[in-house]
A and B are shown apart, each in its own frame.
Chain A
Amino acid sequence: MGAQKKRAAAATAAARVSEDPDDLARQPLQAILLADSFTTKFRPITLERPKVLLPLVNVPMINYTLAWLEAAGVAEVFVFCCAHSKQVIDYLENSEWFSQPNFTVKTIESHNIISAGDALRLIYEQNVIHGDFVLISGDTVSNMLLTQALQEHKERKKKDNNAVMTMIIKKSKPSPITHQSRLGTDELFMAIDPNTKQLLYYEDKADHSKGTICLDKMLLAENPSISLHNDKQDCYIDICSPEVLSLFTDNFDYQHLRRHFVKGLLLDDIMGYKIFTHEIHSSYAARIDNYRSYDIVSKDIIQRWTYPYVPDVKFCGNRATKLERRGMYRASEIEQSRSAQVGSFTVIGCGTKIGSNSKISDSVIGEGCTIGSNVLIEGSYLWDNVIIEDGCELRHVIVCDGVIMKAGAVLKPGVVLSFKVVIGERFVVPAYSKVSLLQQPTVHDSDEELEYADNSSGTVEFSSIQGTADQSNGEMTSESSEAHKPKLGTGGVGYIWSICEGGQEEEWRHSVAPIPEDKLAELSEAMDDDQELVTQDRTALSTSGELISDSNASEGDDNEDSKDDSVYFEKEVEATFLRAVEENVKVDHVILEVNSLRLSYNMTSADCAGAVFYSMMKLAVKTPHSSASELQQNTANIITTWQKLLKSYLLEIDEEVCTIDLDSNYICIFSLLVN
């Protein structure tokens, strides 16, 4: 290691000598690969094996990342190893990655690092990065071409020295019911300048219960146009300039890449650093953040979205696998009983035996597994050398290496069995439980990973929406707590972990199992109630993501009664306004009507302006339009027609709404999800 570092440092020194702008452009592209996610989402598995080495469709995750980096033209990769660094380094040394021409992989090892920020600070100290670099974590699967994004980044950098980072984003609609993306991450809100693609706002921990997001009014004042998105997915692939590393060093409290660094840069207007986005359309990129994304990315790979990184292409020394009809991937030397039914979109690893009358569908089976007869496996991930005896049932579970399931055992959806666990005969493992040979650590002092204090804050509030969730999980709690002692049926070995952190009602969000029907129904019901309470459109940001100006958002502080009032008031104003538009009522008359409404509901004129403005916007969105520019045109028309109406309220009120109004001719307001 030491020698390697020294060599790298020497290379840097040599490169520094010839550092002028022209040389910089020609420098080989470097990448920093963080082989540690600095979270605990994959526990208990990650207590025994680092996340980047977990098999994803029978190939360790890091191989997908490295194969992509190589294909994308990266010349040098620094793999930063922290948790289980020995395993990662051993794996890489035995793999073919160290012997590639034109592609060097170097490892940097450290044990006392607890966050991505620390890791980047350490890399900065080592002085190995001397140019633009790609920052990625070792659990990212992608097949995008970097050239264009890189080109854009370099051109921007040439024009504006403060453009330090380009984030790769991808369109992906979040579920309107659960407010999470298909990858199981929280709904992400971004404000992007549609012309320059500059990132202006980034919020991944929005408060869903209120259904509002608050934008700084300066954002609207300073930018001629912004577009708000909740249908973008952060791919966690960043193209960074070397300044990023020094920024991390300057701000020693930056830990998390997004929560601290990105938000820090966006808020900090003294230095004026800018972050830009690059949207990819046809290519694929996703990061495996939790069990749900593990499940979904696996299915994407099987469905070949990640081509050429699919099981039947040998992109990194994986075993030859043949693709058969209906998406069945089969390696060689499989023993399969004639009566066994292997369904579509299944991957079966080399040397696996499948007994008679077993049914397997939508699953990934690793190498050397033995599956008995009458076994049912559905949507599950079995890693290598798993033994499943007769009559077991597995639905939507992850089963790690060397697990033995005795006859008749049942795994309910969402179960995770860590390495070498033994499940006793006819034992039923309750849903969402995690079983490991290691006991659950009581104090978070393991050298491996660290969880952040504010990690759970965003999620706890959510539980209040679905009050009944606790009920359905109630029985599970009792079961899991009593099973805290090693009890996995006769002959079982292992501990069932109690689910305490993050709240177990959240388990379904991030588990491998699909969200149960009743949960979805519950959530949508809760959402409907919510919507009726507050206005129809405003709450559900996901269904109609209209821009909410400060005047509207400020109501959030009001208590329920006045909220109701204001809702009715707004409805009335809207109705009045619409009628006025339809019947061509004179502006003066409308003002009179709105004034009477104002008096009867005891509202301020600021409220009137807000309500009128809101109705205008709504009208604009509702007018049939085909493109964004047409929408903008409509909006401008309506505003100019009814300028007088708006102005009559704006004379008296504070200037923040004023700014909105005066700018509104230029602000193009895009409805996020104009359905």
Chain B
Amino acid sequence: MPDTQALVNDFLNKLKKRGSKIEGSQATARQTAELLRSVISQQRVPYTNQAGALIDAVKAIGEQLIAANPVELAVGNIVRRVLHIIREEDLSLTTAAIGGLNLSAVSDDENDDDRDGDSTLSAAAVAAAARSTLRPPSLQTLLEDTPVSAAVPQTSSSGGDSEGKSKSADKSSRSRKLKHDVIEAVNELIQDIVTCHEQIAEQAVEHIHQNEVILTLGSSRTVLEFLFAAKEKKRSFRVFVAEGAPRYQGHLLAKELVARGLQTTLITDSAVFAMISRVNMVIVGAHAVMANGGVIAPVGMNLVALAAQKHAVPFVVLAGSHKLCPLYPHNPEVLLNELRSPSELLDFGEFSDCMDFGSGSGSPLLHVVNPAFDYVPPKLVSLFITDAGGHNPSYMYRLIADYYSADDLVVQRRATAGN
């Protein structure tokens, strides 16, 4: 345990440093998942209610992680995803056990042999069936039968796999199996996070067509990979990059695009409206996607979205599934924004005489506000492209029902309120 505690503290410190140590939500998400994996593997589970013990352990650490940097929503998302995985695995194990009992009525030993001998398919099928009975049905499970094993239940089918392979006869090994399954599933989650760029980029050709003009704002690795993928497929198109004041990450993006041989035009943020009529599609990254389909994105994005709407240009948001947040933005400007240092906007020395509080009323006359994020309402977003495919903003809550358990949302909310 002390081992994990040190790890947790280390990560907490990094989170508190606000971006100076970990940059980007993908890295944060990956590290969170890895941390939780080690927490789970170190956690001793009791004989009964192992899932409960694991959930409590993850929750306790998750609370600290979320409190350390409430603005980085990816942390909370991953904590909830892991909690969901534990619940799922627990569920599939119990239903598998019940199913196993039903299948073989001969004896306990034979039952186990039977199950081991059985193809993995039966276990997976049982798990899927159990899921559909014990869980609120998601659109996916209702409409499509085949993707059940493709998208969400990937985790559980893997659980079924390992379940089938493991030679667990007695009940005491079931605890180890649960843990093992959970860790497997978390590994897959990490894998998903790591490969999310490629999975999103794979869809690039379907969206970017020959001789199109794409506009983007700021810099996002997802967007970069997406554009590269289209370029590699021999699509020729042009990119307008809005520089993304005040951090000017667009400059970096432009540099990288040019390095890969893409025709790039750099514009100021304020020129977006003037240029938008020449644009075929706006493709941007996001900081987080909220449950209602609204997007939290680098500052200036709302302006781009409004301009796109005015000129009926499709506004496409690329987001890995770790950015999908099950919370609703009740007051996003205040609750989920981060005000950064004013020094990004202006030089302190040049303006030091404007901030001489020593004279007059003593209250500063110059206020410099530097918000990091914008909120783009769902009605301005045309399409979300996640690693699980393209979705409409109104479909987001369905995806969320697939990725998260309703129980965890409430707990997290209490956890944040408790702070």
Give residues in A with beta carbon < 8 Å to B.
Answer: 71, 100-101, 143, 170-173, 175, 178, 180, 182, 184, 231, 281-284, 292, 295-296, 299-300, 303-308, 313-315, 320, 323-325, 327, 332, 345, 361-362, 378-379, 396, 513-515, 517, 520
Contacts and interface: CB of A to CB of B under 8 A. Distances in A.
A128 B16 CA distance: 31
A625 to B, nearest CB: 19
Contacts of A515: 358-359
A305 B341 contact: yes
A303 B20 CA distance: 20
A589 B68 CA distance: 79
Interface in B266-306: none
Interface string B363-387: 1100110100000000000000000
Nearest to B341: A307
Contact of B352 (A173, A295, A320, A396): A173
B137 interface: no
Nearest to B9: A101
A534 B334 CA distance: 56
A315 B358 contact: no
Given A283-B343, A304-B342, A308-B18, A514 B348 contact: no
A101 B340 contact: no
B340 A182 contact: no
Given A172-B349, A307-B340, A308-B17, A362 B362 contact: yes
Contact of B18 (A282, A296, A313): A313
A20 B361 CA distance: 57
Interface string B198-217: 00000000000000000000
A514 B365 CA distance: 13
Interface-centre pick from B9, B10, B68, B358 (highest chain A CB count, 10 A): B358
Contacts, number: 116
Contact of A514 (B6, B341, B362, B419): B362
B407 interface: no
Interface-centre pick from B343, B344, B370 (highest chain A CB count, 10 A): B343
Main secondary structure of the interface of B (DSSP, over half): loop
Interface residues of B, number: 37
B361 A514 contact: yes
Main secondary structure of the interface of A (DSSP, over half): loop
Contacts of B356: 175, 182
Interface string B1-45: 000001001100100111010000000000000000000000000
Contact of B16 (A281, A282, A315, A378): A315
A315 B357 CA distance: 26
Contact of A101 (B10, B357, B360, B362): B10
Nearest to A99: B9
Interface string B330-359: 000010000111111001111011011111
A494 to B, nearest CB: 25
Contact of B342 (A172, A305, A315): A305
A515 B18 CA distance: 37
B71 to A, nearest CB: 9
A49 B100 CA distance: 71
A71 B17 contact: yes
B372 to A, nearest CB: 10
Contacts of A315: 16-17
Given A172-B352, A517-B360, 7 more contacts: A173-B353, A283-B343, A299-B357, A307-B341, A313-B18, A362-B362, A514-B358
A284 B349 contact: no
A282 B347 contact: yes
B67 interface: yes
Nearest to B344: A282
Contacts of B368: 303
B348 A175 contact: no
B362 A513 contact: yes
B343 A327 contact: no
Nearest to B346: A282
B358 A325 contact: no
Interface-centre pick from A314, A315, A323 (highest chain B CB count, 10 A): A314
Contacts of A304: 339-342, 370
Given A314-B68, A327-B367, A182 B347 contact: no
Contacts of B370: 304
Nearest to B419: A320
Contact of A305 (B13, B343, B361): B343
Nearest to B359: A515
B364 A303 contact: yes
A282 B17 contact: no
Given A182-B356, A307-B340, A396 B363 contact: no
B6 A101 contact: yes
Contacts of B13: 100-101
A186 to B, nearest CB: 13
A283 B20 CA distance: 14
20 contacts: A101-B10, A143-B341, A171-B348, A175-B353, A178-B358, A231-B349, A282-B344, A296-B358, A299-B364, A304-B339, A304-B342, A305-B341, A307-B339, A308-B341, A314-B68, A327-B367, A362-B362, A514-B358, A514-B359, A514-B360
